Structure 1
Amino acid sequence: MIRLVQKQEIILKHFREGKSQRDINRETGISRKTIRKYIRKYEEQKQAILDGDLEDKEVIHDFIAAPKYDSSNRVRKKLTDEIIDRIHFFIRENEKKKSTGRSKQQKKKIDIYECLIEEGHDISYSTVCNYIRKYTETSKEAHVRQEYQPGEICEFDWGYVHLTIDGKPKVIQMAAFTGAKGNYRYANLYHNQKMENFLDVHVKFFNEIKGVYQTVVYDNMKVAVKRFVSRTQKEATEDLLKLSLYYGFRYRFCNVCKGNEKGHVERSIEYIRRKAFSKRDTFDSLEQANQYLKETLEKLNARPTEYNEEKSPADILEEEKPYLLEWMPSYDTARTCELRVNKYAVVSIDENKYSVPDDLVGRFVFAKIYPEKILLYHQEKLIAEHRRSYGAHTWSINIHHYLNTIKKKPGSLHSSTAMQQMNPTLQSIYHTHYTENPKDFIDLLELIGEKGLEKIQSVIQELEKLNPTSVNTEKIKMLCQRKDPEGKSLNQERTTEIEEKSKIILNHYGHLLKPSCVAFHKEAKII
């Protein structure tokens, strides 16, 4: 294909300089057939302009337009049938994700291109885009570029991602931060958008960057906005006020339905979700998914960007650190509340039940709710700690909280929820040795609280070797005392004391029996 400048050169040499087609061919190297084509076409178009309407802009445009070629009949060289099949596979995969509610995790053209390159195919990005464009049409939105000072602004938002966790499909919430200056991205996955998770992700982000941005931008999420004072004024929640006071940052809210006012993080939610979870969306646990997300973000933040002079987001963050606010020790992210203990010695948190000692029935306890655990206090003393449950109407029971009640009602132990959730080792001990004597098992649990499960288990194993059918709590206690150095020395002290008192009593008897005193002393020594 010749360019517009070559077309101009052919026309001027022929019509201005009077050169023949052969001479132009010799000077430019362009074939005579092509030269003849453009000379004839020029004469026809010029004559049409002179004979037609002077205002016919279309004819004039064709007269001066750059050369064009019809490539519709060309044979594909790079876009092979194998590559087309792979592109169709990715398009079908996107359609499947869209139909199952995972539309925001679809692969874009650049992702499909990257996958093809990773598979070893030799093809250009433009070829992939041109082919896919036959199936999809997109309208692009105009954006106004902003300039930000180092350490000035970061943006926060929630998004969601569809994942399969431990074989079950779940909707997982993703909290994300993006630095406005260099697009440094941080994200973490949670089960919900409650306040404790909102606070937790702030602390983790500030700890990662070793500092705090001067201003954080939010939309009108309920964990940040308590109420609308007017259409443009909002009142922040108490927890956000405390967090802002502790770290020293200012906050700003977007206008209603104006997510573009924090466009960096809006784009980042989609970008992170696509880059991380379009390739993998099945995990054994949420912790594993978070570790995978962390590794993916490290790679994304290390990529150089053209619009930042080939600097990566991580490089720009290093430049921003001198301008960040001072890094503070981790803030306590717990959501707190006061709860009444019901008749089952449990408190209800987010529709799930957690046990406390049974002597607190009817009283109030103070709860500190973290993303992964729950701490319960009474009169400023820690009384229970549970792993956080995200199921529906689940019960988290610690059998040690019910020892007093089970002593009074030993028959209730066998089918209780506490028994079902008890340590498997304890369940095995109960079913092997204590099904006929549950009250004795309660004494064993108290002994385990003093000595530890491992020690009791080893003692039971020794007793089973001697006589598997005669294991009971009294024998376990006796064997524990023999093995306990403190118990042994205490027994020795008691034995010595008894011997001394016995000798004193025997000496008194010896004095009473004066005639046989010598013989009595000899017998006492033998004893």
Structure 2
Amino acid sequence: MIILMQKQDILLKYLREGKSQREIARETSVDRKTIRKYINDYEEKLKKLQEAHHEVDRGELIQELVEAPKYRVNNRKKRVVTDEIKQMIRDHLKENENKRSQGLHKQQKKPMDIFESLQAGCIPISYSTVLRTVRSIEKKAKEAYIKGSYMPGDICEFDWGEVKIKIGGKRRTFQMAVFTSAYGNYRMAYLFAKQKTECFQEAHAKFFQEMGGVYHTMVYDNMRVAVKRFVGPNEKEPTDGLLKLSIYYGFAFRFCNTRRGNEKGHVERSVDVIRRKAFAFQDSFESLEEANNYLHHVCMRLNQRERSYNDQTPAVSLETERPCFLHLSEPFDAARYTTLRVDKYATVVIDQNHYSVPDHLVGEQVQVKIYTNRIHCFYNEQKVAEHQLLTGGHEWGLQIEHYLETLRKKPGALAGSTALQQADPKIRNIYTTYYISHERDFIELIHYLKENATLPEIEQSIQELRQMGPKHVTTDKIKAICAKNRMPKDAPPLTSEETQTITNQAERHLRLYDELFNTKRVGQQEVCV
């Protein structure tokens, strides 16, 4: 292959120096047939140029006259790839298409697999030919993009992004819900433990509340919390969670086409920007609440930056959008509802985690309301348990008061129980300090705490009893002290029948107190005898 400089040298020797083709071949070491080809080609194009009258034709001829030599090999006939072989390759590609529709993207055949399959069938073809044929069959026209124009308050885009940060020194993966307005590029994000319906709904409730109104249209991709199932090539059925949000707030929604992130390009970019601007600088926090506060601060800072194309910050653009928003209702009750059966451990299992309910409900069905950070359990429309939501897997959330009936029958199980280990540290300290080997008495104390007293009251009673010695700390004496401390010191005389009954009850508690501690009351004071 000769280069442009060689072509120039050949033509100048022929045109200016008047040398013969044989002489030029001898001096340049280029085959005489090649020299003849370029001289004839030059003279032919020069003649056409002189005869051309159209400006475009003249321009093209000039370019052809001075361009570097080209060797056109694409027009060579491909003799190996017959129509039959092409059909075989198309069949393989059709199988790949079917697998993609079934979600089996990682089980498709690559060109090398197709080549090996053809070779096994004794088809005389090379891998490069198979690769070239596959590319020609799958070749698609390049897509043109249309710049959108947006009205204030009209469109907002939503997407999830994965974030890995440390909470309490432990590295964990969280889901970041990101909102971006199409008109003003206003960005806001919230962290959640998982991509669950209740998280999806709570994110919207928080965002609309912060915006002070609701966008007319929300845009989503094919996320599971938004798309229930595909019902056709371009049709998707929304989830109940999304429909409930739409009904309550009154916004419309639409979905992007599959693998078309550009159709919600604002939020696609926002996920990357917010994640980098926030957690590339700090990725360790004591709690999820602290991480969310930090993330909110970063988003607010980003919204104060100027936009290059209209010299407005997203925060300023938001003020333009607010009058155009839909009316904002009260915050949506973002919760997932389910009915679960209580297992033999008196727990219900939610997302692979166990939560206790009162032990008399073993075998019964309870209704569970699941929020992003807590759960409520109901039986016969009465709340029977409330827990903080566990964010790990195979964890247990047990409350000791849920097992009182069982522990009364099996008091020996108390010391080694998970329920005691997860109890309030103050309750555990009371047990280890005063109730070792007195489990039945401690169980009665927990029952009293559940029904009739508060933990500070019990702690105050124990402090009074400790002054007489640790052995005086018993459940009966704690009850007596609590009753005594609840009595008003300067109560006015009571005359009605109802108030007299209350007075008699208090007097009985005081007499019990006197009997327990060998005291007698003189006026409003107590002395030891």
- TM-score, normalization by structure 1: 0.66
Instruction: Measure, in 2, the Cα distance between the counterparts of 1:478 and 1:245.
Output: 56
Q: Tell me the SS of whatever aligns to 2:471.
A: coil
Contact 1:481 1:488 survives alignment (8 Å): no
Written as runs of structure 1 = structure 2, the 5 A alignment for 1:434-513 is 434-449=435-450, 450-485=452-487, 493=504
Written as runs of structure 1 = structure 2, the 5 A alignment for 1:70-149 is 144-149=146-151
Contact 1:358 1:405 survives alignment (8 Å): yes
Deviations along 1:406-452, whole A, 9 cap, x unmatched? 11111111101111101111111111111111001111112222121
Contact 1:176 1:187 survives alignment (8 Å): yes
Instruction: Measure, in 2, the Cα distance between the counterparts of 1:440 and 1:487.
Output: 30
Aligned to 2:282: 280
Q: Tell me the SS of whatever aligns to 1:451.
A: coil
Q: Tell me the SS of whatever aligns to 1:469.
A: helix
Contact 1:482 1:488 survives alignment (8 Å): no
Return the match for 2:196 from 174, 194, 197.
Answer: 194
Contact 1:481 1:487 survives alignment (8 Å): no
Instruction: Measure, in 2, the Cα distance between the counterparts of 1:152 and 1:390.
Output: 35
Aligned to 1:397: 398
Q: Tell me the SS of whatever aligns to 1:149.
A: coil
Aligned to 1:328: 329
Instruction: Measure, in 2, the Cα distance between the counterparts of 1:291 and 1:166.
Output: 16
1:345 equivalent in alignment to 2:346? yes
1:306, distance to aligned residue in structure 2 (A): 2.1
Aligned to 1:387: 388
Deviations along 1:30-60, whole A, 9 cap, x unmatched? xxxxxxxxxxxxxxxxxxxxxxx999889x9
Contact 1:217 1:253 survives alignment (8 Å): yes
Instruction: Measure, in 2, the Cα distance between the counterparts of 1:446 and 1:486.
Output: 25
Contact 1:345 1:357 survives alignment (8 Å): yes
Instruction: Measure, in 2, the Cα distance between the counterparts of 1:391 and 1:369.
Output: 15
1:193, distance to aligned residue in structure 2 (A): 0.5
Number of aligned residues = 365
Q: Tell me the SS of whatever aligns to 1:230.
A: coil
Aligned to 2:291: 289
Written as runs of structure 1 = structure 2, the 5 A alignment for 1:280-319 is 280-308=282-310, 310-319=311-320
Aligned to 1:151: 153
Contact 1:177 1:265 survives alignment (8 Å): yes
Instruction: Measure, in 1, the Cα distance between the counterparts of 2:147 and 2:315.
Output: 21
Gap regions ≥5 residues in structure 2: 1-45, 50-60, 67-142, 492-500, 509-529
CA pair 415-57 structure 1, distance change in 2 beyond 3 A: same
Deviations along 1:469-516, whole A, 9 cap, x unmatched? 23211121222222221799868537999xxxxxxxxxxxxxxxxxxx
CA pair 483-164 structure 1, distance change in 2 beyond 3 A: closer
Give the partner amino acid of 2:484.
R
Give the partner amino acid of 1:260.
N
Contact 2:341 2:364 survives alignment (8 Å): yes
Instruction: Measure, in 1, the Cα distance between the counterparts of 2:356 and 2:429.
Output: 22
1:327, distance to aligned residue in structure 2 (A): 0.7
Instruction: Measure, in 2, the Cα distance between the counterparts of 1:478 and 1:198.
Output: 51
1:382, distance to aligned residue in structure 2 (A): 0.9
1:379, distance to aligned residue in structure 2 (A): 1.1
Contact 2:483 2:506 survives alignment (8 Å): no
Instruction: Measure, in 1, the Cα distance between the counterparts of 2:375 and 2:366.
Output: 12
Give the partner amino acid of 1:420.
Q
CA pair 315-456 structure 1, distance change in 2 beyond 3 A: same
Return the match for 1:239 from 220, 238, 241.
Answer: 241
Give the partner amino acid of 2:345.
Y
Instruction: Measure, in 1, the Cα distance between the counterparts of 2:381 and 2:476.
Output: 36
Instruction: Measure, in 2, the Cα distance between the counterparts of 1:303 and 1:297.
Output: 10
CA pair 185-482 structure 1, distance change in 2 beyond 3 A: same
Aligned to 1:365: 366
Instruction: Measure, in 1, the Cα distance between the counterparts of 2:446 and 2:170.
Output: 36
1:319, distance to aligned residue in structure 2 (A): 0.5
**What's the % identity of the aligned pairs?**
49
Instruction: Measure, in 1, the Cα distance between the counterparts of 2:331 and 2:290.
Output: 23
Deviations along 1:147-174, whole A, 9 cap, x unmatched? 1111111111111122122212222111
Q: Tell me the SS of whatever aligns to 2:208.
A: helix
Q: Tell me the SS of whatever aligns to 1:371.
A: coil
Instruction: Measure, in 2, the Cα distance between the counterparts of 1:345 and 1:314.
Output: 51
Deviations along 1:361-392, whole A, 9 cap, x unmatched? 11000011111101111111111100000111
Deviations along 1:184-220, whole A, 9 cap, x unmatched? 0111011110111010100011001011111101001
RMSD: 2.5
CA pair 343-325 structure 1, distance change in 2 beyond 3 A: same
Give the partner amino acid of 2:446.
L
Instruction: Measure, in 2, the Cα distance between the counterparts of 1:334 and 1:492.
Output: 47
1:321, distance to aligned residue in structure 2 (A): 1.1
Aligned to 1:90: none
Instruction: Measure, in 2, the Cα distance between the counterparts of 1:492 and 1:370.
Output: 45
- TM-score, normalization by structure 2: 0.66
1:428 equivalent in alignment to 2:439? no
1:278, distance to aligned residue in structure 2 (A): 1.6
Instruction: Measure, in 2, the Cα distance between the counterparts of 1:229 and 1:341.
Output: 36
Give the partner amino acid of 1:413.
L
Aligned to 1:206: 208
Gap regions ≥5 residues in structure 1: 1-52, 61-140, 498-527
Aligned to 1:356: 357
Q: Tell me the SS of whatever aligns to 1:177.
A: strand
Give the partner amino acid of 2:359.
D
Instruction: Measure, in 1, the Cα distance between the counterparts of 2:339 and 2:236.
Output: 28
1:145, distance to aligned residue in structure 2 (A): 2.3
CA pair 480-142 structure 1, distance change in 2 beyond 3 A: same
Instruction: Measure, in 2, the Cα distance between the counterparts of 1:225 and 1:496.
Output: 67
Aligned to 2:180: 178
CA pair 496-154 structure 1, distance change in 2 beyond 3 A: closer
Q: Tell me the SS of whatever aligns to 1:466.
A: coil
Deviations along 1:298-351, whole A, 9 cap, x unmatched? 11111121212x111111111111111101101110011000001111000000
Q: Tell me the SS of whatever aligns to 1:145.
A: coil
Contact 1:200 1:333 survives alignment (8 Å): yes
Aligned to 1:255: 257
Q: Tell me the SS of whatever aligns to 1:160.
A: strand
